[in-house]
Structure 1
């Protein structure tokens, strides 16, 4: 459906608002600031945790945040209005299954921290991913990519006593992000559904990952919760996304926008508009045309 009465704008980050160097382009930044000044409600809807998401757009004042795929929501006044974790027992059981797959790596996201099983393995997996370097072979973009990986490396913590932190309550996990080989991910997903299907929510931001959240948590439920608090009809919202974890978000808004760079055909089929890629200011161009 398409609704030209827009009150709220929802933006995924990676592959959507952010370019390939994990930065908000000047054009995207300019139009968001303009729309906020005109009274539009603009919210980030991301799989990233709150601390990391906010750090990437900290110079854009007046945003709300739906983070960790809807597990942690901060309103336009900076108040936490929703906060839900995976149970300690389920987190430990899930990790024990994930660790049976030697090729997998994982991270555990809380609102402020991200703990990673193996930071060096994460960097190695990123550097050997051919998609990362697609159309990014010039010196400037290569340097930007290295800087991005360094930022990710520094922002994640690697510790040996992860189970102890979970058991004593020091780490409340809101999302488990599993990365690995695409040909192993489907069988892993089936195994997780068989054992935890009625306890968790699964989604993917790319073909080689699986994101595990508490049951009935998604960017879509996050939007409904935020919109209800504001008294806004979700049909008067426009949402932009590129990943599988954006699907429910795009299904419920009045105007759904998929990015041209998305690798999820189902997402594009649900969209009212296909925006130009995240490296071509797709968000800014659609918003400038509609609003």
Structure 2
């Protein structure tokens, strides 16, 4: 029987309007009050954004944030933290700084830095509760950077950038597309999958008793180590192709996660 439920946020638990739907809230409320379950929010978002979603859901949950660079326990206490190597961070922050078709984003402590806000590069000012600031490579201190990510609607340029970063740093970074327009880089130790392993050890609950939902390539490592996993209908085609054995459920805009949970935990067990 599943004891731990793991949610990716964007493209999975959240609708495309960046909201928790009423139905999703209702289902989670039932699970929160009627079932003895643990919840985990596993997201590329910053801790400040994750805790806001946690509060909206009214759940006591672990949080894997910044793609595993920061992990928090049920009491919002930081239990794992890792940052990019200073020299690697310096290179990444400058690698496409002058590229007009790509935005460079930096999560450093509680700050969000960008190099431009061209909407054509998929700049999302409502993406975060953090207030962005502009950075210049000559004046940024390259310490305590948990995540660097690049956004653009020019997917080809992002794929070229991904190859360049891999060639430069190979296994010294963890690099994934959270979706086709967002390339994310953390340290080699940071991933959602590692976060689940850490929490599994703390809870003394086997990963076989975890159930996880995701939609991006940054979810792949966690989806492939748990007892049961689901991929969203709206997920990255690369994730679907690389995990053909994982069941696909309805989209985030059609309450795919909530409907799946209702069928698993409420309808079958006649919980009201």
TM > 0.5: yes
Query: Which residue is 1:281 aligned to?
Result: 255
- 5+ residue gaps in structure 1? 128-148
What is the Cα deviation at residue 113 of structure 1? 2.7
Q: Does 1:18 align with 2:14?
A: yes
Tell me how far apart the structure 2 counterparts of residues 231 and 270 of structure 1 sit (CA, whole Å).
30
- Name whichever of 109-118 and 232-241 sits farther off: 109-118
Alignment correspondent of 1:131: none
Residue in structure 1 matching 2:42, options 22, 28, 45: 45
1:225 aligns with 2:221: no
Distance apart, 1:62 and its partner CA = 0.7
Conserved 8 A contact 1:70-1:217:
yes
Distance 1:162 1:275 in 2: 43
* 2:30 pairs with 1:34: yes
Gaps of 5+ in 2: 266-272
Matched residue, 2:223: 250
Once residues 24 and 153 of structure 1 are traced to their aligned partners in structure 2, the CA distance between those partners, rounded to angstroms, is 15
Q: Is the 8 A contact 2:69 2:83 kept in 1?
A: yes
Cα distance in 2, alignment partners of residues 79 and 33 from structure 1: 24
Residues 201 and 265 (structure 1), Cα distance of their counterparts in 2 relative to 1, 3 Å cut: closer
Give matches, 1:206-221, under 5 Å: 206-221=179-194
Distance in 2 between the 1:57 and 1:95 partners? 30
1:6 equivalenced with 2:6 (yes/no) = no
Q: Provide the C-alpha distance between the structure 2 equivalents of 1:34 and 1:245, rounded to a whole number of angstroms.
A: 29
Runs of 4+ in 1 over 6 A off after TM superposition: none
For residues 129 and 230 of structure 2, what CA distance do their matches in structure 1 show?
A: 33
**Could you tell me how far apart the structure 1 residues matched to 2:47 and 2:263 are?**
30
Q: Is the 8 A contact 1:72 1:111 kept in 2?
A: no
Q: Which has the higher strand share?
A: 2
Aligned partner of residue 48 in structure 1, secondary structure: coil
Give the distance between the partners of 1:161 and 1:83, measured in 2 at CA.
25
More helix per residue: 1
Per-residue CA deviation, residues 79-123 of structure 1 (Å, 9 max, x unaligned), is 1110110022111111221225331111111353322222x31x3
Alignment match, 2:51: 54
Q: Secondary structure at the match of 1:78?
A: coil
Question: Could you say which residue in structure 2 is the equivalent of 1:141?
Answer: none
Asked if structure 2 preserves the Cα contact closer than 8 Å seen for 1:108 and 1:115, the reply is yes
Deviations 1:204-249 (Å, cap 9, x if unpaired)?
Answer: 1112221111013211111111111111111110000011111111
Q: Is the 8 A contact 2:175 2:184 kept in 1?
A: yes
Contact 2:49 2:129 (8 Å CA) reproduced: no
TM normalised by structure 1 equals 0.83
The whole-number CA distance in structure 1 between the counterparts of 2:37 and 2:224 is: 21
**Cα RMSD after superposing both structures:** 2.0
For 2:186 and 2:177, the matched residues in 1 are separated by 11
Separation in structure 1 between the aligned mates of residue 49 and residue 213 of structure 2, nearest angstrom: 19
* Number of residue equivalences: 261
